[in-house]
Structure 1
């Protein structure tokens, strides 16, 4: 659904709607330390994905503060899960994620959760990795009603899934590709919904480097993704 989002009118009370054609975003974890989200918002950041979990035992120590403070500052935010496919099933990790910050509510400020697929193939065959991803997707959707966002690179997707085309009609693509004018899209996805274009960005309110992201569309389309419309 989310890749072909139709822009809709959303009440201004839901979020700070701007006229920017491609809203700017960031993704963060405890690595960034304490974040001043009001300054981040004032710097022009419209959305963020915030690390919540990893595997089935790790909960990011700054997730609760980041998730709440981003919301209060008017930043449209969602949670992400760092996948460990070699450690436990996709279903088990999606269950842990959904119950430790990866949930969703239709409040105009909450993005669907994302699964971060980048830490190698974990010894799984391409077929097993495809099954792991599908199990994560199905479990997450059953618990939240949303299609999980997939974060990855074209090279990881090719190596670890064999260029699988089975998720392109299901999940929005958040592609990582730095230092280029246009990202290379993993096989099967018709376009990107978000693009992590830099890992060395600087933003007011955050000490040190932070990942920077573009959204593929207008502010109204970003709100449509948040509102599942």
Structure 2
């Protein structure tokens, strides 16, 4: 698995091609998936869960719509680190749509790591405790699905909340949030981002995501 990810990262980073995608949640009550596909988008990441009590009410319909339109798709979990263990939240995510299957069209789940209004910065955890929490989530997801989750973060959060940890470079693909004309400096020792969330506004709803490679490499990420 480690050798595959390193090879994939190298190939992705070297590739000139990119693939448009987007991510959505219940804030997008309806999405014209057919139009998005016709415009060139090929993957969708859909909010499934948050913490260990919340399920996104639009997940099922969004997931079905994306599948029917021909997208490679997957779910994401908005982390509440420290409220419950990483393993508990991984189990909750998997139980509510965030699992992975080797069908060629399912992305590994994505763990959304960022601050939330109304909560303490870094969820009140020390840098070492945050790294341990992420690892617990990642390891449980891997033990149950055979895949490591993608990690979504921004450089500021990752530096502040994990001490710019490089603990996940060889296992977890990076989904980098940076709204700019270029990805910029990559945090955490990752050589490249696998997906770049380059804008919080996408024509067909949600945020714009750019896969750093060709469609064949995106399909390889889905296949594992």
Q: TM-score, normalised by structure 2?
A: 0.90
**What is the CA-CA distance between 1:35 and the residue it aligns to?**
1.3
Runs of 4+ in structure 1 off by over 6 angstroms are none
Secondary structure, counterpart of 2:122 in structure 1: coil
Q: TM-score, normalised by structure 1?
A: 0.88
Aligned counterpart, 2:13 = none
Matched, 1:147 2:143: no
Query: How far apart, CA to CA, are the structure 2 residues paired with 1:151 and 1:41?
Result: 23
Q: Which has the higher helix share?
A: 2
**What is the CA-CA distance between 1:6 and the residue it aligns to?**
8.3
Secondary structure, counterpart of 2:124 in structure 1: coil
Secondary structure, counterpart of 1:78 in structure 2: strand
Matched, 1:4 2:43: no
* CA distances 1:125-160 after superposition (whole Å, capped 9, x unpaired): 011001000000000001111011000011111000
Please, what is the CA RMSD of the aligned residues?
A: 1.6
Secondary structure, counterpart of 2:186 in structure 1: coil
Q: Which moved more, 1:218-227 or 1:37-46?
A: 37-46
Aligned counterpart, 2:20 = 24
Aligned counterpart, 1:225 = 221
Aligned counterpart, 2:192 = 191
**What is the CA-CA distance between 1:181 and the residue it aligns to?**
2.1
Q: Which of 35, 58, 63 is the equivalent residue of 2:54?
A: 58
Give unmatched runs, 5+ long, in structure 1. Answer: 8-19
**What is the CA-CA distance between 1:70 and the residue it aligns to?**
0.4
Secondary structure, counterpart of 1:187 in structure 2: coil
Q: Which of 66, 75, 81 is the equivalent residue of 1:79?
A: 75
How has the CA–CA distance of structure 1 residues 201 and 37 changed in structure 2, closer, same or farther, with 3 Å as cutoff?
closer
Give unmatched runs, 5+ long, in structure 2. Answer: 11-15, 116-120
**What is the CA-CA distance between 1:183 and the residue it aligns to?**
3.1
Aligned counterpart, 1:160 = 161
Q: Which moved more, 1:53-62 or 1:186-195?
A: 186-195
Matched, 1:200 2:201: yes
Query: How far apart, CA to CA, are the structure 1 residues paired with 2:201 and 2:6?
Result: 27
The answer to whether the 8 Å contact 1:47/1:76 transfers is: yes
The answer to whether the 8 Å contact 1:168/1:188 transfers is: yes
Query: How far apart, CA to CA, are the structure 2 residues paired with 1:225 and 1:94?
Result: 20
* CA distances 1:172-201 after superposition (whole Å, capped 9, x unpaired): 000000023233311221111000000022
Aligned counterpart, 2:45 = 49
